[in-house]
């Protein structure tokens, strides 16, 4: 009886212990998660300062004061640069440690280690693209620059000083939920984050998809559907005939129009709904008070914790304020006492794929210029939660790492696709950003931008000296006309990137006669620009709208410009809707279709958050595009559809062409029949949506700030914000204005305002986790003044340990 | 007395354990040890530890009941609201403490020497 009793109660005890200690998928171990002092409750309360706090940390040279304003924006006051970057690292970790760790893992292909097998392919892709190699290469280059070296090493020390203060109970909640611990920060992790940002901005390309289409349908069809530059777009810089003489490209290439290709099917979904970024600077002749006004809203993935962290960095020599990336020292976007700056993505093509021929399936040698060359192999161990490690061998060649081969995505044992990406050439991006942080005039800005390699951006700037302008940063392979659109022939070294466009040849403009500069991811220069400019894809609608509206007046006020950042005018609709309606006379429509179209005829073309007509339009448009040309992609392994503007122009100019007909169906499809089908689909869809209570545009669009680990309960769904892709207020379901900024610049100084979707604190329990969202959706900007050190009540003093 | 002793000792033990930010299984070890030490009847062991578990966890957890994080966590675990998460956790703490106390009691009982019946000198 006694033994039975022990077995019974002991069994209950043991079962409880095992279940609560180990958890059961998908439930995490509830024991440690629910227990006081170690579990989730520790993150429930705001731990922000309410008065002065003093912390002694090892690694500082002198004391550092950090003050907080009511927006939880910290201002760092240090007596030297080393301490300033140390304090920034400490602050970033204090507010965003899990985010830093998670994003560095994502960049380096280490997510499966914490999230399991589902992330294995993602990790393999990152490893095979050589992200870690690129980060290490970048690190070695950055360490050659004293400023970057100091910033990176001190920043790293600051992060680690904070990590050392943590006990398990203090770990951000995500660590507890995902059952892992923070590991020491390293400069390599900072570089991984930089590489991830570079990859985000430079690796949207469709070379493989283009090749597939070309080989299926031929050159003529490709040229019709995929023009290099949308014809309606305004170039960023227009100065016909005034470009410097070009640098000639000596090599002749062999692969302008590829003849064959071992097609692969990769997960690279095409979407027209790309957001994009806007920036503009209005000179004194365009503003009511003759100031210079710089506006910028770079559009990226909408995430929580937010991508950006706002801080002021101050030390004896200089001070700078703006958006930083947790994990990287310095300020990426913002202003100092003399200059302000902002960016849009250049969209330029800085990725090529090279098809290689290996001697055998061991991939030790590949053929170049009729000679077998040795490849270099790196063995990658990918740790996977819940199972043993997976090993993958990545082959490196002079054309870059081989991503796709018979072991990953490919079919043929002797071929592979090498990935030539500008990220692998990264030189001194961080050093350049740090130089920008301290620049005092246009000359120093341009000098800083000239050092950038893989940050391919349209930088706008304004200075208290009265200059403003735009300049393209980055490094671009020198190409023959048409080069780089398809998978390339890796058997000839002449096809490799053997020369680059000199910085002097980059599109740039300062104080132009028209009184403003602007960019919105369109092509950079007019038709007389001597270098081949190609992207996949350049964009059209926003730059058209921005240039037309800004050009329409010369008395702009900051408030008007701030409002214009949230402009909801749908240029795409303004071009397509009249054409569509012309094909659908009332006599051919049912009563319900007529009523539907009447809503669109009465629409003001504004995608405001509360608009109902915007839902009608989107349902109609999505029913038409890309379905109207989907038959062209039936036999194509990887589809990239033509841009919408191309289709709209074909509707306008080639409505009777046979291209609209699907030869596999007995009917003869025309533009009109596609429109009728789209209209019927839209009528039915809108009826269903209205029955489900979806009557306002923001509900349909469902802009969501997604938690990085894709945990819905930690995300903010259905933000009531207007706009859409291709609209100035370019907020899609997943992307949007990750940072909105305005700087009013005159000789007396710079007034900076800005906002981003989210909040400063990455702790889910903090009131500053999402406190900017309401103002962000309403298009407001928050004051971001550069402040001198004051005796603010809420301040954190970091003291060095006694020597 | 043993009931009160068990409650007091368990609560003190658990609070001490939590203040050390120890691992979660203090809720299972402390009541077991307390029961071994005090050795109340099994009903008392369970009841005392049940409430001691609730009190000691409640001291830390209840103040967070109305926070946004707890509401989000409740949603994540698919519970109807934050109160359910908080009081559910406290109930779990009570059950864990109570069951471990029963285990402790059964161990002690196994080693208890059988009492001799009272037989007065004749």
Neighboring chain B residues of A34 at a CB cutoff of 8 Å:
24, 89, 92
Q: What is the mean pLDDT of residues A274-290?
A: 93
What is the distance in angstroms between the Cα of B74 and the nearest Cα belonging to chain A?
9
The two tokens of residue A423 are 């990220």
| SS3 labels along A249-280 | CCCCCCCCCCCCCCCCCCCCCCCCCCCCCEEE
B57, B67, B102: residue with CB nearest A36: B57
Q: In chain A, which residues have their Cβ closer than 8 Å to the Cβ of B19?
A: 37
Contact A20 B24 (CB under 8 A): yes
- A472 in Cβ contact with A506 (< 8 Å): yes
Give the residue from A421, A416, A424 showing the smallest Cα distance to A203.
A421
pLDDT at position B21 is 64
The pLDDT of A59-65, averaged and rounded, is 94
pLDDT digits (tens, 9 = 90+) for A746-787: 989 999 999 999 999 999 888 899 999 999 999 999 999 999
Residue in the block written with tokens 């071009």: A575
Residue scoring higher pLDDT (A751 or B11): A751
CB A36 within 8 A of CB B60: yes
At A352-374, the pLDDT tens digits run 999 999 999 999 999 999 999 99
**From the CB of residue A548, how many other CB atoms can be counted at a distance below 10 Å?**
12
Of A349-358, A582-591, A718-727, B111-120, give the lowest mean pLDDT range: B111-120
Measured between CB atoms, which of B75, B99, B109 is closest to A12? Answer: B99
Confidence of residue A21 (pLDDT cuts 50, 70, 90): confident
List the single range of A214-218, A560-564, B16-20, B105-109 with lowest mean pLDDT.
B16-20
Report how far residue B73's alpha carbon sits from residue A677's, in angstroms, rounded to the nearest whole number. Answer: 45
| A721 min Cα distance to partner chain B (Å) | 23
For the ranges A575-584, A688-697, B19-28, the lowest mean pLDDT is seen at: B19-28
CA of B79: which chain A residue's CA is closest?
A713
Q: What is the phi/psi pair of residue A623, to 5°? A: -75, -20
pTM of the full predicted structure? Answer: 0.92
Question: Residue A36: which of B61, B73, B107 has the nearest Cβ?
Answer: B61
Provide, as residue numbers in chain B, all residues whose Cβ is less than 8 Å from the Cβ of A12. Answer: 99, 102-103
Question: What residues contact residue A31 under an 8 Å CB cut-off, 6+ apart?
Answer: A17, A20, A21, B23, B24, B25
Q: Considering only A512-516, A772-776, B4-8, which range has the smallest mean pLDDT?
A: B4-8
pLDDT at A252: 74
Range A581-603 burial, b when 16+ CB lie within 10 A, else e: eebbeeeebeeebbebbeebeeb
User: What pLDDT sits at residue B5?
Assistant: 77
Distance CA(A254)–CA(A142), nearest Å, equals: 36
Per-residue pLDDT tens digits for A186-202: 999 999 999 999 999 88
Peptide bond connecting A626 to the previous residue in cis, omega within 30 degrees of 0: yes
Answer yes or no: is pLDDT of A728 > 90: yes
Residue A462 parent element (H or E): strand A457-463
Is B24 in contact with A34 (Cβ distance < 8 A)? yes
Q: Are A523 and A507 in contact (CB under 8 A)?
A: no
DSSP state of B115: P
Ramachandran assignment for A521, one of left (phi > 0), alpha (psi -120 to 50 degrees), beta (any other): left
In this complex, the residue of A32, A767, A769 whose CB is nearest that of residue B23 is: A32
CA–CA distance, A774 with A769 (Å, rounded to integer): 12
CB contact set of B62 (below 8 Å; sequence gap of 6+): B86, B90
Identify which has the larger pLDDT, B34 or A600: A600
Residue B121 scores a pLDDT above 90: no
Going by C-alpha positions, the residue among A278, A293, A308, A298 that lies closest to residue A340 is A293
Average pLDDT of span A262-272: 68
Give the SS3 label for residue A555.
coil
Assess whether pLDDT exceeds 60 at residue B116: no
Confidence band for A271, pLDDT divided at 50, 70 and 90:
low
Q: What is the pLDDT of residue A48?
A: 67
Tokens of A439: 């620049």
The pLDDT, as a whole number, for residue A787 is: 94
Q: Give the pLDDT band of residue A263 (cuts 50, 70, 90).
A: low
pLDDT of residue B122: 46
Cα Rg of chain B, angstroms:
18
Cα A166 to the chain's mean position, in Å?
A: 31
pLDDT band at B120 (very low <50, low <70, confident <90, very high): low
In angstroms, the CA B27 to CA A727 distance is 57
Task: Inform me whether the pLDDT recorded for A32 exceeds 90.
Answer: no
Nearest CA in chain A to B107: A6
Mean pLDDT of chain A: 93
A33, A38, B25 from A21: Cα distances, Å: 10, 13, 8
Phi-psi region of B39 (alpha: psi -120 to 50; beta: other; left: phi over 0): left
Judge whether residue A253 has pLDDT over 80: no
Using a CB-CB cut-off of 8 Å, the residues of chain A touching B28 are: 13, 16-17
Task: Point out the least confidently predicted range of A96-100, A770-774, B13-17.
Answer: B13-17
Average pLDDT over every residue of A700-716:
95
Tell me which chain B residues have a C-beta less than 8 angstroms from the C-beta of A27: 77
Going by C-alpha positions, the residue among A590, A603, A597 that lies closest to residue A623 is A597
**A237 Cβ partners below 8 Å, 6+ apart?**
A470, A507, A508, A509, A517, A524, A525, A526
Task: Give me the pLDDT at residue A316, please.
Answer: 84
pLDDT for B110 equals 84
Segment among A18-27, A56-65, A646-655, B82-91 with least mean pLDDT: A18-27
Interface residues of B toward A, Cβ cutoff 8 Å, are 18-19, 21-28, 32, 56-57, 59-61, 63-64, 67-70, 72-73, 75-77, 89, 92, 96, 99-100, 102-103, 105-107, 109-110
Instruction: Closest CB to B96: pick one of A16, A39, A713.
Output: A16
Cα atoms in the 13 Å half-sphere on the side-chain side of A62: 13
In angstroms, rounded to a whole number, what is the distance separating the alpha carbons of residues A562 and A779? 7
Q: How confident is the model at residue A803 (pLDDT cuts 50, 70, 90)?
A: low
Predicted pLDDT of residue A46: 66
Q: Determine, for residues B99 and A34 on separate chains, whether the beta-carbon distance falls below 8 Å.
A: no
Contact A538, A522 (CB under 8 A): yes
User: Which residues contact residue A721 at a Cβ distance below 8 angstroms, ignoring those fewer than 6 apart?
Assistant: A609, A698, A703, A729, A731, A736, A776, A777
How far is residue A688's CA from residue A215's CA, in Å, rounded to a whole number?
41
């Amino acid at each position: 009886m006694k033994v039975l009793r022990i077995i019974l109660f002991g069994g209950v005890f043991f079962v409880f212990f095992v279940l609560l200690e180990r958890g059961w998928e998908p439930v995490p171990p509830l024991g440690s998660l629910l227990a006081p002092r170690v579990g989730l409750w520790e993150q429930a309360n705001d731990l922000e300062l309410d008065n002065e706090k003093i912390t002694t940390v090892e690694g500082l040279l002198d004391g550092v004061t950090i003050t907080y304003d009511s927006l939880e924006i910290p201002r760092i006051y240090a007596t030297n640069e080393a301490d300033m970057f140390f304090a920034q690292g400490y602050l970033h970790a204090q507010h965003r440690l899990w985010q830093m760790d998670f994003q560095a893992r994502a960049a380096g292909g280490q997510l499966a280690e914490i999230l399991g097998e589902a992330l294995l392919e993602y990790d393999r892709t990152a490893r095979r693209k050589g992200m870690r190699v690129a980060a290490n290469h970048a690190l070695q280059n950055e360490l050659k620059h004293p400023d970057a070296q100091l910033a990176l090493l001190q920043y790293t020390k600051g992060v680690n000083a904070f990590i050392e203060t943590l006990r398990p109970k203090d770990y951000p909640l995500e660590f507890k939920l995902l059952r892992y611990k923070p590991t020491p920060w390293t400069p390599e992790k900072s570089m991984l984050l930089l590489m991830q940002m570079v990859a985000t901005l430079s690796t949207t390309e469709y070379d493989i998809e283009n090749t597939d289409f070309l080989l299926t349908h031929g050159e003529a069809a490709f040229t019709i559907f995929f023009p290099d530059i949308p014809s309606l777009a305004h170039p960023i810089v227009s100065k016909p005939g005034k470009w410097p003489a070009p640098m000639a490209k000596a090599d002749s290439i062999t692969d302008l129009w590829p003849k064959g290709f071992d097609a692969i099917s990769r997960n690279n979904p095409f979407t027209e709904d790309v957001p994009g970024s806007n920036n503009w600077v209005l000179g004194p002749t365009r503003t009511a008070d003759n100031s210079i006004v710089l506006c910028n809203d770079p559009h990226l993935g909408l995430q929580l914790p937010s991508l950006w962290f706002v801080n002021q960095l101050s030390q004896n020599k200089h001070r700078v304020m703006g958006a930083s990336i947790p994990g990287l020292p310095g300020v990426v976007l913002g202003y100092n006492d003399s200059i302000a700056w902002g960016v849009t993505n250049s969209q330029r093509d800085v990725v090529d794929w090279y098809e290689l021929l290996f001697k055998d399936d061991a991939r030790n040698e590949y053929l170049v210029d009729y000679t077998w060359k040795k490849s270099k192999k790196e063995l990658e161990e990918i740790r996977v939660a819940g199972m043993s490690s997976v090993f993958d061998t990545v082959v490196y060649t002079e054309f870059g790492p081989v991503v796709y081969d018979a072991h990953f995505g490919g079919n043929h044992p002797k071929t592979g696709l090498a990935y030539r990406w500008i990220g692998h050439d990264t030189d001194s991006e961080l050093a350049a950003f740090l130089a920008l942080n301290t620049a005092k005039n246009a000359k120093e800005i341009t000098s800083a931008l000239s050092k950038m390699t893989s940050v391919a951006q349209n930088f706008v700037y304004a200075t208290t000296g009265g200059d403003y302008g735009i300049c393209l940063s980055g490094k671009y392979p020198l190409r023959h006309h048409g080069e780089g659109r398809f998978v390339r022939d890796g058997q000839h070294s002449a096809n490799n990137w053997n020369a680059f466009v000199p910085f002097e040849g980059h599109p740039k403009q300062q104080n132009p006669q028209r009184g403003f500069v602007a960019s919105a991811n369109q092509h950079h220069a007019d038709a007389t620009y001597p270098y081949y400019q190609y992207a996949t894809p350049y964009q059209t609608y926003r730059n058209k709208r921005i240039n037309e509206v800004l050009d329409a007046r010369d008395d702009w006020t900051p408030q008007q410009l701030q409002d214009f950042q949230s402009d909801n005018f749908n240029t795409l609709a303004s071009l397509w809707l009249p054409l569509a309606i012309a094909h659908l006379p009332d006599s051919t429509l049912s009563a319900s279709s007529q009523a539907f179209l009447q809503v669109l005829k009465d629409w003001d073309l504004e995608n405001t958050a509360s608009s109902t007509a915007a839902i009608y339009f989107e349902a109609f448009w999505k029913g038409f595009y890309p379905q109207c040309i989907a038959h062209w992609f039936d036999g194509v392994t990887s589809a990239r559809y033509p841009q919408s503007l191309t289709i709209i122009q074909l509707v306008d100019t080639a409505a009777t062409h046979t291209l609209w007909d699907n030869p596999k169906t007995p009917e003869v499809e025309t533009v009109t029949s596609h429109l009728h089908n789209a209209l019927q689909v839209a009528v039915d869809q809108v009826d269903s949506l209205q029955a489900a209570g979806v009557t306002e545009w923001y509900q349909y669009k469902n802009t969501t700030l997604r938690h990085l680990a894709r945990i819905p309960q930690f995300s903010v769904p259905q933000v009531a914000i207007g706009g859409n892709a291709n609209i100035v207020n370019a907020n899609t379901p997943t992307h949007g204005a990750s940072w909105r900024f305005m700087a009013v610049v005159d000789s007396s100084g710079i007034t900076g305002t800005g906002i981003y979707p989210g909040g400063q604190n990455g702790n889910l329990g903090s009131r500053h986790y999402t406190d900017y969202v309401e103002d962000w959706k309403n298009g407001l900007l928050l004051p971001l003044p550069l402040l001198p050190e004051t005796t603010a009540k809420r301040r954190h003093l970091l003291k060095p340990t006694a020597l | 007395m043993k009931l009160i002793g068990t409650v007091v000792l368990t609560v003190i033990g658990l609070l001490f354990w939590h203040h050390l930010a120890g691992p979660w299984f203090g809720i299972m070890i402390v009541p077991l040890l307390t029961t071994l030490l005090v050795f109340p009847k099994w009903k008392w062991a369970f009841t005392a530890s049940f409430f001691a578990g609730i009190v000691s966890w409640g001291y830390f957890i209840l103040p967070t009941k109305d926070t946004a994080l707890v509401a989000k966590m409740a949603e994540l675990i698919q519970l109807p609201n934050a109160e359910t998460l908080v009081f559910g956790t406290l109930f779990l703490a009570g059950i864990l403490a109570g069951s471990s106390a029963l285990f402790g009691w059964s161990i002690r009982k196994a080693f208890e020497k059988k009492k001799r019946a009272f037989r007065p000198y004749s």
